[in-house]
Amino acid sequence: MADAAKSEWTAGHPVNGIASLKIADEIARLKRGPQWVAGDRVAESLAKNSELSVTLLLLKHGAMLKEHRARGTVALTIVTGSIRLNGATLGAGTVAVIDREAPHAVEAIEESALLLTAVLK
Q: Which residues of 10-25 are buried (b: 16+ CB within 10 A; e: fewer)?
A: ebeeeeeeebebeeee
Report the chain's mean pLDDT, rounded to a whole number: 89
Average pLDDT of the residues in 28-48: 94
Within 13 Å, how many C-alpha atoms sit on residue 116's CB side? Answer: 20
Residue 74's CB is within 10 A of a number of other CB atoms, namely 20
**In the chain, what are the domains?**
4-119 (2.60.120.10)
The pTM is what? 0.86
pLDDT at 20: 82
| pLDDT above 70: residue 12 | no
pLDDT digits (tens, 9 = 90+) for 67-93: 999 888 999 999 999 999 999 999 999
pLDDT at 14: 74
- How far is Cα of residue 39 from the mean position of the Cα atoms in its chain? 17
